[in-house]
Amino acid sequence: MTHHAHLDATGLLCPLPVLKTAKRLQALAPGEVLRIETDDPAALIDMPHYCAESGHLLLSQEEAGAAMVWMIQKK
């Protein structure tokens, strides 16, 4: 899937992956997609919750080895 920016949040624990995602999304234009890599187990709950609360669209989440890859479209 095409993305406009990338954030490597591996090695970071809750709440840092979501906080860094929020900050990185601020720099994007509406409709652009951010690709995020996380390995914090809490991200499985935190990322979908963040998207639901902020209005950003969670396009996908998939496992990539020990990490999760998230694609989020800015509202």
Within 1-75, strands assigned E span 5-8, 33-38, 57-64, 67-73
Q: Is residue 10 within 8 Å of 39, Cβ to Cβ? A: yes
Our answer to whether residue 14 is catalytic in this structure is: yes
pLDDT digits (tens, 9 = 90+) for 12-49: 999 999 999 999 999 999 999 999 999 999 999 999 99
Q: Which of the following is catalytic: 5, 12, 14, 69?
A: 14
Banded pLDDT at 1 (limits 50, 70, 90): confident
Q: Is residue 21 within 8 Å of 33, Cβ to Cβ? A: no
What are the φ/ψ torsions at residue 70 (nearest 5 degrees)?
-115, 140
Domains of the chain, start order: 5-73 (3.30.110.40)
